[in-house]
Structure 1
Amino acid sequence: MAESDTELGVESDCVAEEEPPSQLASDLNGATQQLQTPEELVARAIAPIKREFLRPPPSRTTQNNASSDADSKPSQSSLVKDKKSKRQLKRERRQEQKSALNLCPEVSKSGDLSACPYGDKCRYSHDIEAFKAQKPADLEGDCPFLSVDGPCPFGLTCRFLGTHKDGATARNPNALKKTSEINGLNKDVQKLLWKNKVRFTKADAILKSLGLMGPNSKKKKLEAEEKDQIVLNNAHATDTNKSSMKVTGDSVDNAECCLKSIGAENVDEMLCSTDELRPSKKAKSLANEKCCDGEVDDGAMVLDNDSEKSSAQTESVPTADDALAEPDETLKIHPREKKLIDFRGKLYLAPLTTVGNLPFRRVCKVLGADVTCGEMAMCTNLLQGQASEWALLRRHPSEDLFGVQICGAYPDTIARTVELIDKECTVDFIDINMGCPIDIVVNKGAGSCLLTKPMRMKSIIEAASATVETPITVKVRTGYFEGKNRIDSLIADIGYWGARAVTVHGRSRQQRYSKLADWDYIYQCAKKAPDTLQVLGNGDIFSFGDWNKHVSDCPELSSCMIARGALLKPWIFTEIKEQRHWDITSGERLNILRDYVHFGLEHWGSDTKGVEKTRHFLLEWLSYTCRYIPVGLLDVIPQRLNWRPPSYHGRDDLETLMASDSAADWIRISEMLLGKVPDGFTFAPKHKSNAYDRAENG
């Protein structure tokens, strides 16, 4: 079997493939005509579609290619001509806010000009009549907030204003019912995170007891010794400091930068509690890039003066701070006291970048998913209080078994993040991503990079699991390099380190999303895992037959994670529970998209901004669903994920439209649900998921 015929598209974690060649459809149709039997087509990873549905490939090009060819020269010539300064761009944004289309939110909610507390100083427009004159026409359908007690929270800006009861708006803004979604970031906590003033007492106590206070802490001790020529009298304390330095692998040069930036005068005090000092922002900018662009120090705890004055102690004698926050004995009994979570036999929707948003998860819950997990969030961004990153942690009440996935490079960063999440959010488990293959993550020491650093993996899992009672799970790949699998040798240790479950994606980092998942190796890992560690498999599940096979072939496997299969057909959960191949009609598929739009408007808003955001994520999802081939059109059932379909038409016009890999046709589907797109609207899928070609290894 040719290698390119077995390779796949975007898997559960992230990123993209390459675009398919322009002659792919015609080549597949030619191969379909030459090869007579479905078995020969399957052997070449070509979808065996019934002959009566085959058709010549369309001669038109996709919207993306056509627009790029037509606009390439003008855009190149206008790059220099239209270049604007940051000040000018800021001025234009302010002017746009003042335009009639940007009505003040407070005025919009109440319909009263006096409701805005800023009055004439408000950044937004207060001209209601001008806004109504320029507002786009209302969309068909009912306001998604009609079922909510009280008026629509978007008031006059709602694109379904005509369906509001008596056209009423909220005369009292406080009467608006809060959204049913939870895990939003408190504004006061966000401001403290911005100012780097959040205290992580529990995480830092655990890190201190484990000797994992971060790369900079031990460097400060070493530099203080060399600069002031002070010899410690306690030899045991010196040996302890050196052993901790070996774990972090810090350099003397970087320590010198941190020491100078701190400007510590009392060296004796610094030697006793250097792990409680933090460099200024300027010092952080001078730090080595290997610190992951400030990943370790972002959101660091600001300690009281009393804790800074505590004397240095050996690990055998716990300090007062350790006793108050978390005694050392808890590290030994922690696995028994941790909350239990059972994945056995449950249908687990994988954390999916971009498309795995809250509305999509709600759709999958309706269709039978048991476990859901939020999109991967970066620890550094969470500790900095970035609202866009915290939005990935939001949860709907229908998600009865819900977890969040985080990604970081260092134990202190992850330990503080899990403590923050445990305090501010309601989650059933926290998943640590140690398998993300994208370069921007790996180059910072996170994701798949951790597979090459088992001691770092140990420190991260131990610190995270000891900090919170919420179960900690881990997602990994088979290894970093192709042909050099290593998770089987670490699987037992992962359980002893404190993880409650581990998901093994059956590909290496170097394979990215290419080639079929190695389920035999996943079985091998499951058999080596201790009884306290649940092992889940991930990769290429696209039918109830795939699910049944993996569960029956390896009884030690707790469950399977479903990723791309849910993107192409979210009703896969229904198929597994009902043990059937659902020959779903185009109308039923459109109803699923309609539910997604309704959930999206509830999540992102029913004003123009929310409508267009819902449209954007709908188009991203449609770039995956076009790869689904209806059951009634296939000679061989079920469809495999790596099958490349020749050009075909469906059983009706809507089914044909849904099979198109053209962005223009995806936009047409969005217009059925969300009305006409704005003038000048264009779309290019982020992950190019309609591609079938070979993904680059690297």
Structure 2
Amino acid sequence: MAESSIDISMVTNSEMEGVPSSQPPSNSDGATQQTPEELVGRAIAPIKREFLRPPPPSRTTQNDAASDANSSANAKQSQSSLVKEKKSKRQLKRERRQEQKSSLNLCPEIAKTGDVNACPYKNKCRFSHDIQAFMAQKPADLEGECPFVRADAPCPYGLACRFAGTHKDGASAASANVLKKSSEVNGLSKDVQKLLWKNKMRFTKADAVIKSLGLTGPNWKIKKLVDKEEDKVVSNGSHAVSETECKLVANDSVDCSECPPTFSPADNVEEACASDELRPSKKAKSVVDEKCCSDEVENDATVLEKDVEKNSTETESVHTADDMLAEPDRSLKIHPREKKLIDFREKLYLAPLTTVGNLPFRRVCKILGADVTCGEMAMCTNLLQGQASEWALLRRHSSEDLFGVQICGAHPDTVARTVELIDKECTVDFIDINMGCPIDIVVNKGAGSSLLTKPLRMKGIIEAASGTVDKPITVKVRTGYFEGKNRIDSLIAEIGSWGATAVTIHGRSRQQRYSKLADWDYIYQCVRKAPSMLQVLGNGDIFSYLDSKNHRSDCPELSTCMIARGALIKPWLFTEIKEQRHWDISSGERLNILKDYVRFGLEHWGSDRKGVETTRHFLLEWLSYTCRYIPVGLLDVIPQRLNWRPPSYYGRDDLETLMASDSAADWVRISEMLLGKVPDGFTFAPKHKSNAYDRAENG
């Protein structure tokens, strides 16, 4: 993205009212008298004195102290009054149903066509069919053009679109219902989702590899018995309950009234080994629950059941061969040299980033120079249970020419099944396994950085995943679990032989989190110990082109650097690295980047009310990071370091001053410039802390 004159006509004078003047104060005192070197030593950004804000007046009187105490007490009381009562899942579901029926949610088919008779569900539809009531409460259209009209395609949101006034005549009519082919892939089909919901998806490759590696688990014999019983049922073409099943039902007194019509042996190792894995509220049905229900449907087989029978017939021979194996068949494992390798050298890699690293953000980074992109971390168990929200993390845009997905699991069978499912249903270039996530909920279930304390489990996961698919398997790790007890250097030689083609090392331990700078000397040590066939990438505190350049020159064996938080704060970092310069980007150019993000967000999440507010939410999450950027022209020492804490300062214009604010209210104002006024009662609190410090016991 080249520097150019930027049109910021969207930012009017009225929108900038109340923004602190960008005119710097005439003088300043106090801590600002320190030299830039002293400020850098204290990790405080050395901003030029003429741009610093004067310190707030000190309060020393007892009256001021009393007023402060009263205000804090009132704040706590108001905060406690805002705490919402805990609602049951049934109550929340009932409220969602009622909201869907309200005039706020017009039926998508009616909104698309404008015809009240277009909905095939008629009175049974979950949404409102009252067009007049919907239009009466619909807020005014937003400024700008509908992103779907710009793409020369009829808008799929029709009347519900917040840019409906810009639609072309007849663009949303039924005759123009053929939409342009989506530029996003890796969606979850309904048929596959139903199979996953009912635990009826077969994973023949993963199960065979798991058995060949001897990682079947303690309940494998029970699973084989279930498989044999199911094979008998399928081969006989009958849904009758076997004698063994009847005994189980009689002994356990199981009520079959709520069971699904058929049973499939898809539970096997997942049911046996993933009891302590991350799972949502929906629990998998037991083997007995599945088996006792096979007599409920005889002639009216659904499409889902036909698919299951087809899969069972195709894979019956595979299961028979597996049962005859007396010794593990090591030939099933694919040698790393047989895989399609990806050369990460000299490529700029955007790290998988939770919450903020969504598809619109990755599109922005691609425009600004990123070469490799990776989706947000997805939990294996959630993917295997068909959660639509988790599968959305695997979405890929056509502009992402080198794209991978990142998964996280605690057991070899869970990870192997997930990579097989992704290989079947998605278009990806590589699959990354996260073994460094420090979040408590992940670590407590045995996944993420918890695996760093279990090298045998790491080996099983990498071997199982690598042996199941032909896609390259990469791994992301930290230096270790505990501070001062690094261990990746002792494992780096083995990771390549286990089947990984690349490993990314984040130069921090799990316990350290972000309390200190990344240890790049240790990363260099690991790189030099790695085998030649294993590519090693470094990660941590890359915030300027000099950081990347110095790391590559200090360790030529390093393949490349992965960029994470630096891209969140200034996504134009990729441009700086490629052009080898410090970009003193203007506020107008930064606003244009936000405009691109909003347009990509509306295309991804939708241009209706829900899509606009979803785009706003993720924009605000991103703004909680971008406010930490300090313009190059304001610094006494260049470049800015990632651990510097910026003091309060004025920008060179009102917009730059607004963008430097760490107040959520100012972030909301920026969102209103791009997406219109927020709804009544709108509040925002960032999901993640954007600062570089956190309690060590939290990871």
TM-score using structure 1 length: 0.81
Q: Aligned residue for 2:44? A: 46
Q: Aligned residue for 2:103? A: 100
* 1-structure distance, mates of 2:504, 2:71: 41
Query: What amino acid is aligned across from residue 678 of structure 1 in structure 2?
Result: P
What does residue range 306-345 of structure 1 map to in structure 2 within 5 Å?
Answer: 312-313=323-324, 315-316=326-327, 328-331=330-333, 334-345=335-346
Q: Aligned residue for 1:23? A: none
What does residue range 136-535 of structure 1 map to in structure 2 within 5 Å?
Answer: 136-166=139-169, 168-172=171-175, 174-217=177-220, 278=267, 290=276, 312-313=323-324, 315-316=326-327, 328-331=330-333, 334-535=335-536
Q: Are 1:643 and 2:644 counterparts?
A: yes
What does residue range 605-624 of structure 1 map to in structure 2 within 5 Å?
Answer: 605-624=606-625
Do the aligned residues in 2 keep the contact of 1:404 with 1:427 (CA within 8 Å)? Answer: yes
Q: Aligned residue for 1:551? A: 552
The 3-state SS of whatever aligns with 2:668 is: helix
1:256-308 Cα distance to aligned partner (Å, 9 max, x none): xxx989989xxxxxxxxxx9784799x88xx995455599x979999667666
Do the aligned residues in 1 keep the contact of 2:100 with 2:126 (CA within 8 Å)? Answer: yes
Q: Aligned residue for 1:253? A: none
Q: Are 1:131 and 2:130 counterparts?
A: no
In structure 2, the gaps of 5 or more residues are: 1-27, 59-68, 226-246, 253-263, 288-307
Do the aligned residues in 1 keep the contact of 2:269 with 2:413 (CA within 8 Å)? Answer: no
Q: Aligned residue for 1:33? A: 32
Q: Aligned residue for 2:24? A: none
* 2-structure distance, mates of 1:518, 1:450: 20
Query: What amino acid is aligned across from residue 431 of structure 1 in structure 2?
Result: D
Query: What amino acid is aligned across from residue 522 of structure 1 in structure 2?
Result: I
The structure with higher relative contact order (CA 8 Å, sep 6+) is 1
* 2-structure distance, mates of 1:380, 1:423: 17
* 2-structure distance, mates of 1:603, 1:162: 20
The 3-state SS of whatever aligns with 1:503 is: strand
* 2-structure distance, mates of 1:692, 1:190: 40
Deviation at 1:645, TM superposition (A): 1.1
* 1-structure distance, mates of 2:56, 2:113: 52
Deviation at 1:503, TM superposition (A): 0.1
Of 167-176 and 526-535, the range deviating more from structure 2: 167-176
Query: What amino acid is aligned across from residue 406 of structure 2 in structure 1?
Result: Q
1:365-387 Cα distance to aligned partner (Å, 9 max, x none): 00000000000000000000000
Do the aligned residues in 1 keep the contact of 2:154 with 2:176 (CA within 8 Å)? Answer: no
* 1-structure distance, mates of 2:535, 2:420: 23
Query: What amino acid is aligned across from residue 579 of structure 1 in structure 2?
Result: Q
* 1-structure distance, mates of 2:591, 2:368: 14
Deviation at 1:433, TM superposition (A): 0.2
In structure 1, the gaps of 5 or more residues are: 1-28, 223-258, 265-274, 319-327
Deviation at 1:647, TM superposition (A): 1.0
The 3-state SS of whatever aligns with 1:406 is: strand
Compared CA separation, residues 422 and 182, structure 1 to 2 (3 A)? same
Do the aligned residues in 2 keep the contact of 1:504 with 1:536 (CA within 8 Å)? Answer: yes
Do the aligned residues in 1 keep the contact of 2:515 with 2:694 (CA within 8 Å)? Answer: no
* 2-structure distance, mates of 1:625, 1:641: 12
Do the aligned residues in 2 keep the contact of 1:623 with 1:690 (CA within 8 Å)? Answer: no
The 3-state SS of whatever aligns with 1:375 is: coil
Compared CA separation, residues 30 and 645, structure 1 to 2 (3 A)? farther
Sequence identity, in percent? 77
1:645-695 Cα distance to aligned partner (Å, 9 max, x none): 111100001000000000000000000000000000000011121465665
Deviation at 1:175, TM superposition (A): 1.2
Compared CA separation, residues 263 and 597, structure 1 to 2 (3 A)? farther
What does residue range 594-673 of structure 1 map to in structure 2 within 5 Å?
Answer: 594-673=595-674
1:457-479 Cα distance to aligned partner (Å, 9 max, x none): 11111110111000000000001
The 3-state SS of whatever aligns with 2:513 is: coil
Aligned-pair Cα RMSD in Å: 3.2
Do the aligned residues in 1 keep the contact of 2:352 with 2:375 (CA within 8 Å)? Answer: yes
Deviation at 1:174, TM superposition (A): 4.6
Deviation at 1:587, TM superposition (A): 0.4
The 3-state SS of whatever aligns with 1:445 is: coil
Q: Aligned residue for 1:20? A: none
Deviation at 1:91, TM superposition (A): 3.7
The number of aligned residues is 604
Deviation at 1:310, TM superposition (A): 6.3
1:165-190 Cα distance to aligned partner (Å, 9 max, x none): 12631314751224210000111001
Compared CA separation, residues 105 and 311, structure 1 to 2 (3 A)? closer
The 3-state SS of whatever aligns with 1:166 is: coil
Do the aligned residues in 2 keep the contact of 1:214 with 1:411 (CA within 8 Å)? Answer: no
Compared CA separation, residues 655 and 443, structure 1 to 2 (3 A)? same
Do the aligned residues in 1 keep the contact of 2:29 with 2:54 (CA within 8 Å)? Answer: no
Do the aligned residues in 1 keep the contact of 2:475 with 2:504 (CA within 8 Å)? Answer: yes
Do the aligned residues in 1 keep the contact of 2:482 with 2:510 (CA within 8 Å)? Answer: yes
* 1-structure distance, mates of 2:164, 2:57: 43
Compared CA separation, residues 218 and 30, structure 1 to 2 (3 A)? farther
